Structure 1
Amino acid sequence: MRIAIAQIISSADTAANLGIIRDYAAQAKNAGARLVVFPEAAMRAFGHSLKDIAEPLDGPWASEVRRVAKDLDITIVAGMFTPGAEGRVRNTLLVTGPGVEASYDKVHLFDAFGFTESKTVDAGEAPVTFELDGTVFGLATCYDVRFPALFTANANAGAHVNIVCASWGAGEGKAEQWDLLVRARALDSTTFVVACAQGDPETVGAGPAGAAPTGIGHSAVVTPLGTALVSLGGKPELAVVDIDPASVDSVRATLPVLANARRF
């Protein structure tokens, strides 16, 4: 299967961000990809109000992403914000394409490194998988990557690929942690990990938006044995890579960590 990761830098302008999605999705389609993954907060970058742009999955922003996916005959994964309870929002991944429709609300909220995402965001409650061309994909968002159980739960639900969409904040050691974590989650779950992050604003001459996490790039596609098939730098970029989901079965026969796992 040919997949694409669209390492973009979203802004406060939701319409402009739709234009970026449209452009990168067209590039991915022209390169032969069946799936294109955009980062967390593709709808609007962190550091700006989210409550005023949050909308249901059948709202205008999501509907336009859905139209793009249909017109291009490609499946799109993109981070958006949907309404939550009591004025909060949900940090949602939209998955849409011909014959494919799913959504995932971020389970593990980023109450770490001085941030308290739970003040403004409602947590999701369950893992989500979807199927494309006979391959099952699991979903995760940013801080989720620090929690192996979500990735193994997706694998036990049939996933051969785990997708992680992120807006990974900069800081001492954060790039090294990201690289380590996406490779470790591939090994934990013996799945391919498709990790798509927001690019680094400094690579295009822009600073971070206030104190909010924005992005450092370093998107990657990692094999079930932890080897990076592609690893990007900080700038906005589209990467296209071929993966063989069927190879996961042979990896699991050699390294049966899912089958051998004991629950305490």
Structure 2
Amino acid sequence: MRITLGQLASGPDTAANLARMEEVAAAAADAGSTLAVFPEYASYEKSRVDSSFVAAAEPLDGDVVRALAAMARRHRITVVAGVIETSEEHERAYNTIVALDPTGSLVAAYRKIHLFDSQGFHESRHIRPAPDVGPVTFPLDGTVVGLLTCYDLRFPGVARALADAGAQVVLAPSSWVPGPGKTDQWDVLLRARALDNGVFVAGVSQAEPVSIGRSIVAGPLGGVLGSCGPAEDVLTVDLHLGAVTDARRQFPLAEQRRV
């Protein structure tokens, strides 16, 4: 499976963000990838989540998701991206990751479970946490792909639930807030979730200055298969899915787990 990560520098101009995603999706298709993955808040981003995110929110049949669906159809590729979805509350929206298959069909929508109410940030003031905390997956190229978002990486049970649901590849679209030690934490958490569960983990983050960039693809034994620097970038990596079987044969953690 060949995948492409689009490390964006998204801003509050949704049309410009979609145009940049279009460029990356075209490049991904030209490179032979079957999957293009974009960060959390790919369609609308600022340095802090505020009420403008709620104003930018749309239902999953709105203009943004329709544009992503058309992109997927045009390039015959699966597109995964972070959007802002309207919720049942007027003051808060959902932070949602959508997956559109090459026909443009919405095959998965994951609402962020754990909101970033840390280090002086209060995401939950304007974003509603997912009411359903069950694993969200979709099929791709004969395997199962799971979704989580950013801060969810700090909660090992999210990735574990995806692995238990059959995921061999876990995508982690993120906008990892900069700060002392944050780059090391990002690296460790992505690689740990891969190693914990014997899965590939692809973490694609927003670029500097809003985020740290440094998108990473980690293999099922925790090794780094590809990475980006802090600036806007595109990364294409081949995932050899037999490595999942090999890792789980060496370390049959799911069978040995007692707690």
Shorter-chain TM band: over 0.9
Alignment correspondent of 2:36: 36
Amino acid at match of 2:235: A
Which deviates further from its counterpart, 92-101 or 155-164? 92-101
8 A contact 1:152–1:258 mirrored in 2:
no
What is the distance in 2 between the residues matched to 1:259 and 1:56? 41
Identity of aligned residues (%): 44
Alignment correspondent of 1:21: 21
Is it true that 1:8 corresponds to 2:14 in the alignment? no
Alignment correspondent of 1:253: 249
What is the distance in 1 between the residues matched to 2:115 and 2:253? 27
What is the distance in 2 between the residues matched to 1:102 and 1:252? 26
Could you say what secondary structure the match of 2:161 adopts?
helix
Give the length in aligned residue pairs.
251
Task: Map 1:1-264; keep pairs closer than 5 Å.
Answer: 1-46=1-46, 47=48, 49-87=52-90, 88-98=92-102, 101-124=107-130, 125-126=132-133, 127-201=135-209, 214-263=210-259
Amino acid at match of 2:144: V
**How far apart are 1:7 and its partner, in Å?**
0.5
Could you say what secondary structure the match of 2:56 adopts?
coil
Structure 1 gaps, min length 5: 202-213
What is the distance in 2 between the residues matched to 1:45 and 1:83? 16
TM (norm. structure 2) is 0.94
Runs (4+) of structure 1 exceeding 3 A deviation are: none
8 A contact 2:216–2:228 mirrored in 1:
yes
Amino acid at match of 2:23: D
Could you say what secondary structure the match of 2:172 adopts?
strand
Could you say what secondary structure the match of 2:171 adopts?
strand
Alignment correspondent of 1:208: none
8 A contact 1:85–1:122 mirrored in 2:
no
**How far apart are 1:131 and its partner, in Å?**
0.6
Q: Could you give the per-residue CA deviations for residues 109-152 of structure 1, whole angstroms, max 9, x where no partner exists?
A: 11111112112111112220111111101101010010111101
Alignment correspondent of 1:210: none
**How far apart are 1:249 and its partner, in Å?**
1.3
Which deviates further from its counterpart, 243-252 or 101-110? 243-252
Amino acid at match of 1:258: A
**How far apart are 1:247 and its partner, in Å?**
2.1
Amino acid at match of 1:23: E
What is the distance in 2 between the residues matched to 1:69 and 1:118? 31
Q: Could you give the per-residue CA deviations for residues 79-101 of structure 1, whole angstroms, max 9, x where no partner exists?
A: 00001232210000010022552
TM (norm. structure 1) is 0.93
* Alpha-carbon RMSD: 1.1
What is the distance in 2 between the residues matched to 1:237 and 1:179? 17
